[in-house]
Structure 1
């Protein structure tokens, strides 16, 4: 309307100026005709698709995370976004900053449980990622909505899988061809068991991270954890140092010119575990909607690179190291997150109890 009034004022002013120059005056009919002429129709700008700006910002967040060096975290963010898109498409719902209400958050969580068939812990993580995105967007002025802060999903900790001292020794004792795919896979896994480093930190080790032994300090790795950005100093045993030297020499980089990725390494670890006889039956508990889904499998079937980090924590605590010291080595900044790595098996509980109490001899 303001644009049209400006155009009308310009027309009438021009008309009056033209007549004034000629020494005449405009007639009422002439001015009325100018006023009644239709305003020119401006080309309308296309409206953005519902949620278009939201998804644009979400992709920006994923890219920002990836460029920060946390590639696996960026992949997890992208997966959460994919589930949200699928939920929106299934329900015909236009996801946007202003439409993400607590009710929608609850409905998405229900979708993740009943349609996507995810566990409670995974649902909790996806909700956390969406909340993290909204906070990131809020800091950049993209939204002021905090509605999702009121949405939650209970996290239920599963049993932690870690190797015992005997199982780790069996894996170390395996006779494998030097430089074979299983030998390389074992070296990666053992280095994680000896240092407690995540896979993302293992693959980032460079010569500058290795600090040689001195009169006061043993050889150690000093690096910045990829996930938490915390600086960690990890002392190296003789076995760990040998593996680090192999890694830096390029002996562990690939198998038949193909890089050893996390999924490939996890597949090889299951084969190694079977060869080492790590086959005790274990119960795997997954919670869906608070209901325990219990399955039994052989332990080697659940071996992953992350098992090594849990093994490092569990075995060192068992040797008497303080939790604070182990946390310093692993780079954990909160005891709550660290506690998830502590594997208090019934056998471990019995062994610890026996240290402080006299126990009757076991029956023969």
Structure 2
């Protein structure tokens, strides 16, 4: 039976407590815990620090008791797996328990969430989501952003997060940090927690010790109903027919019209060239899903290409596209006020210094202020919903599930009611006489 014993080797004002771990002639190893005991206050017989005002002896004694249990428990597991029990093994396990990384990845990834996330991300870069379909760049990017937010949280709390720490207390503290310190909205926070749950599931499948609270229904993913806008068919028609004095607005308007009639993400939209033309269709292997999408050319799109000698509009950057289409919509007259959310500067204080960050803020704004590149895809989906079958629209927009797609549709309850009103006005009343 292996035994653990604490002792001190010096008689200084402050003395390191060592842990000796041995089992007969099989092994006898010792390592410093890094925990200090005041001179004359450590009891070898009782294996504790006696009452003193010099240190928080109750907390230290509780840590020493728990460390013993941890070492013995880890030995029971590792000895079965044939792990060599030596000084290095003991130091690594002491460091892991006391939230100190050993700088040995194989050891640390079994203990710390951030280290395991590094391994998870590296593996994801090589993993196939489906046969012959690698994990998308955007998904990897989301994993890495989550890891960065975890690092920010650890720096804020002053403590590394272990896989065994992912409980409801962590859940509440992480949400509070991202909400109050990072000023993030519930949907964004929910996305980060979703990644952490996925990482924990993977760690558990690898046989690592994980807090099972991550599976609890109380370990929920915050969300809120987004207030996003779209361009109606009437507004798209108005924008398409407007005459602009400035060339850069005319160019941006043409990209906007193409986007509204193709449903492409901006990363795919602004990279279209003549090589993407295939007869009466536009073909594109989308960046996010790497899935080939074919979209028939709407008459408005055909006229734009004819106007530009068969070429797409002049290429511009994503940020400029976002800025210019706001100007386009303002010039067209989309100045009425609606509910929505837009990126706004927020001043926060971190480490005693004021800093400006940008976050989405809900409120009532003029419609053109709420226009961004996302309006293209959202308008395409919303304007075709109910006119085309949902699967056809999803194949073009790239939504994987109907629930994701339906969240994207931005028809308001009043707009549904107006549609019903128009339908009633156009039907033959005799159809409903016997209904």
Structure 2 length normalisation: TM-score? Answer: 0.59
Could you say which residue in structure 1 is the equivalent of 2:72?
Answer: none
SS state at 2:400 partner:
coil
Question: Which moved further from structure 2: 342-351 or 83-92?
Answer: 342-351
Could you say which residue in structure 2 is the equivalent of 1:278?
Answer: 334
Could you say which residue in structure 2 is the equivalent of 1:30?
Answer: none
Deviation at 1:336, TM superposition (A): 0.7
Q: Which consecutive residues of structure 2, in runs of 5 or more, have no partner in the other structure?
A: 1-21, 28-85, 103-107, 127-133, 343-360, 427-435
Q: Kindly report which structure 2 residues correspond to 1:111-260, keeping only aligned pairs within 5 A, or say none.
A: 111-135=177-201, 141=206, 143=208, 145=210, 147-150=213-216, 151-176=219-244, 180-203=247-270, 205=272, 209-212=276-279, 219-241=280-302, 252-254=314-316, 260=317
C-alpha spacing 1:306/1:5, structure 2 compared with 1 (3 Å): closer
2: CA distance, partners of 1:196 / 1:351? 25
1: CA distance, partners of 2:145 / 2:395? 31
Deviation at 1:136, TM superposition (A): 5.0
Contact 1:313/1:342, CA 8 A, preserved across alignment? yes
Q: Is 2:101 aligned against 1:50?
A: yes
Contact 2:260/2:380, CA 8 A, preserved across alignment? yes
Higher relative contact order, structure no. (Cα contacts within 8 Å, ≥ 6 residues apart): 1
Q: Is 2:396 aligned against 1:332?
A: no
Question: Which moved further from structure 2: 340-349 or 309-318?
Answer: 340-349
Deviation at 1:94, TM superposition (A): 1.2
Deviation at 1:135, TM superposition (A): 4.1
Deviation at 1:207, TM superposition (A): 5.7
Structure 1 length normalisation: TM-score? Answer: 0.69
Across the aligned residues of Structure 1 and Structure 2, the Cα RMSD in angstroms comes to 3.8
SS state at 1:176 partner:
coil
Q: Is 2:176 aligned against 1:110?
A: yes
Within the candidate set 360, 368, 381, 1:313 is matched to 381
Contact 1:192/1:309, CA 8 A, preserved across alignment? yes
Deviation at 1:161, TM superposition (A): 0.6
Deviation at 1:251, TM superposition (A): 5.1
Deviation at 1:163, TM superposition (A): 0.8
Q: How many residues align?
A: 304
Could you say which residue in structure 1 is the equivalent of 2:167?
Answer: 101
Could you say which residue in structure 1 is the equivalent of 2:83?
Answer: none
Structure with more strand by fraction: 2
Q: Deviation digits for residues 177-200 of structure 1, max 9, x if unmatched?
A: 68x433333233222211111123
Structure with more helix by fraction: 1
Q: Is 2:406 aligned against 1:344?
A: no
1: CA distance, partners of 2:324 / 2:388? 31
Could you say which residue in structure 1 is the equivalent of 2:55?
Answer: none
2: CA distance, partners of 1:186 / 1:100? 48
SS state at 1:340 partner:
helix
Deviation at 1:335, TM superposition (A): 1.4
Q: Which consecutive residues of structure 1, in runs of 5 or more, have no partner in the other structure?
A: 7-41, 213-218, 255-259, 287-292, 360-364
Larger Rg: 1
Contact 1:280/1:299, CA 8 A, preserved across alignment? yes
Contact 1:160/1:340, CA 8 A, preserved across alignment? no
